[in-house]
Amino acid sequence: MPSDQSLGLNHRGIMVTSNPLDVMTYLALQATGLPRQRVMGMAGL
């Protein structure tokens, strides 16, 4: 869950790289309220 301080910033998007990737990406999407086009998960770094 992002801190209240980070939610006040003007983020263009969020990249999630932690496991389980699908679940963490979904939780980031729900927690931030950003449009789904602005939250992505990336594996294999």
For position 44, what pLDDT does the model report? Answer: 85
pLDDT (0 to 100) of residue 13: 87
Return all residues near 2 (Cβ < 8 A) that are at least 6 apart: 28, 31, 32
> What is the CB neighbour count within 10 angstroms for residue 34?
16
pLDDT tens, position by position, 1-45: 555 556 556 668 889 999 999 999 999 999 988 899 999 999 986
How many structural domains does the chain have? 1
The whole-angstrom separation of Cα 11 and Cα 21 is 20
Predicted TM-score (pTM) of this structure:
0.70
What pLDDT does residue 2 have? Answer: 56
Identify the pLDDT of residue 7: 58
| pLDDT of 9 | 62
Domain residue limits at 32? 4-41
